[in-house]
A and B are shown apart, each in its own frame.
Chain A
Amino acid sequence: QKEVEQNSGPLSVPEGAIASLNCTYSDRGSQSFFWYRQYSGKSPELIMSIYSNGDKEDGRFTAQLNKASQYVSLLIRDSQPSDSATYLCAVRSSASKIIFGSGTRLSIRP
């Protein structure tokens, strides 16, 4: 059974600080990794995708991938109250299927 594991949180971070979200996955053959943001009662919204080892930056967001450790992370710099949401780590397990983690609830305190 392919799994994606995340700490459920809540993770509380002061406004302006860096939020660090982590994820591990079980399928060593996975090649595509995603971070989605989900506000309460809303649908997942893609923030970042990453396919190669190392860092990928997009604005205030940086995704990090370490395939040897089967580890993906998301850093959010200069955290804003609007970043308060649940962050879902997801891994592509086949051409069409994405497996989601249970999500980490992030709270940015003013």
Chain B
Amino acid sequence: EPEVTQTPSHQVTQMGQEVILRCVPISNHLYFYWYRQILGQKVEFLVSFYNNEISEKSEIFDDQFSVERPDGSNFTLKIRSTKLEDSAMYFCASSELAGEETQYFGPGTRLLVL
């Protein structure tokens, strides 16, 4: 069964450093998403992406965040200058259509900012 994959599974970085989280969505899916979950808290929507542009973003997704589809398979989330409060689990998801109800989640990247 096709699945969303994410790398790395864990990332430790120093405050102020840039990190890039990578995702490979399911191959025939057209819509991609990033969510985050701070330890013990809710899963929060960050951004959705379609046709090489952001279709929606939350208030969390400020100027330090960016997303990109650098090639036909990868979807990345970049955090330019990490803060302690960026420590969280970051989930990538994809869906075939925008109205398609099922968003398939990847296993996540656990980011720890020291």
Residues of chain A at the chain B interface (Cβ within 8 Å) = 32, 34, 38, 42-46, 49, 51, 88, 90, 92, 94-103
Contacts and interface: CB of A to CB of B under 8 A. Distances in A.
Nearest to B55: A96
Given A96-B55, A98-B45, A101-B42, A43 B108 contact: yes
27 contacts: A32-B101, A34-B101, A42-B107, A43-B91, A43-B105, A43-B106, A43-B107, A44-B91, A44-B105, A45-B105, A46-B104, A49-B101, A90-B43, A92-B101, A94-B56, A95-B55, A95-B56, A95-B98, A95-B99, A96-B50, A96-B55, A96-B56, A96-B98, A97-B48, A98-B45, A100-B42, A100-B43
A103 B91 contact: no
Contacts of A94: 56
Interface residues of B, number: 23
Nearest to B99: A95
B56 A98 contact: no
Given A49-B102, A96-B98, 20 more contacts: A32-B101, A34-B101, A42-B107, A43-B105, A43-B106, A43-B108, A44-B105, A46-B103, A49-B101, A88-B43, A90-B43, A95-B55, A95-B56, A96-B33, A97-B45, A97-B48, A97-B58, A98-B103, A100-B44, A102-B41
